[in-house]
């Protein structure tokens, strides 16, 4: 039987060893590019990624899909290189805090950061399969205005996807292409919006 030696209690290290250290906040990051690549490798999923351009019914009097709104159309006019390929992905970002343990007395907070794809049909946008959980921030307190520190890996990946794109294989069209992406809109309540925008 092996015993671990304990530091003397009168040393600072000994006092620290008695205390249970809890990290202020912990973050998990799930990259977006690999999941996009996997989607385009499936012919059925790859076909859905251009639904907004191929199969969407346009009705001038109704907004049935984000592609019908003036913001989408103005963006297309301003960024022709991006809009020329309908496979380029437009995301909506949303985040909010929650208590996963359903205890009112607990201060524990978990903040999921979710990306919604707007290329696909409206009836699929909010299905669990197509909601990309990208960041999970967990800890005894909410990130507050420091949330930008936790969003940094996602912002760096999105900047790379916007500026340079990533080479992918489209299994539906059976061709390689450069996939680009952008966070097109954010959806939050006001307290979260203030934290995101400071």
Which has more confidence, 9 or 121? 121
Q: What is the pLDDT of residue 4?
A: 44
- Work out the number of other CB atoms within 10 angstroms of the CB of residue 36: 21
Confidence label for 16 from pLDDT (cuts 50, 70 and 90):
low
Q: What is the pLDDT of residue 17?
A: 55
Give the model confidence (pLDDT) of 43-70 as tens digits: 999 999 999 888 877 777 778 888 888 8
Which has more confidence, 7 or 129? 129
């Amino acid at each position: 039987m092996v015993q671990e030696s304990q530091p003397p209690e009168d040393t600072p290290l000994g006092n620290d060893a008695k205390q249970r250290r809890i990290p202020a906040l912990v973050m998990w990051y799930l990259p977006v590019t690999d999941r996009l690549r996997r989607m385009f490798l499936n012919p059925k999923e790859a076909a859905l990624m251009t639904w907004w351009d191929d199969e969407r019914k346009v009705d001038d009097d109704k907004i049935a899909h984000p592609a019908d709104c003036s913001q989408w159309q103005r963006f297309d006019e301003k960024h022709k290189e991006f809009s020329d390929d309908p496979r380029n992905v437009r995301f909506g970002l949303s985040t909010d805090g929650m208590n996963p343990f359903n205890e009112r007395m607990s201060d524990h907070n978990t903040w999921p950061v979710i990306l919604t794809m707007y290329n696909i049909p409206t009836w699929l946008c909010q299905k669990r399969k197509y909601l990309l959980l990208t960041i999970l921030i967990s800890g005894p307190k909410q990130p507050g205005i420091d949330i930008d520190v936790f969003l940094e890996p996602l912002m760096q990946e999105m900047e790379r996807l916007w500026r340079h794109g990533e080479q992918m294989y489209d299994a539906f069209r059976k061709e390689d292409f450069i996939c680009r992406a952008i966070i097109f809109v954010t959806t939050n309540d006001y307290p979260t919006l203030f934290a995101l925008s400071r």
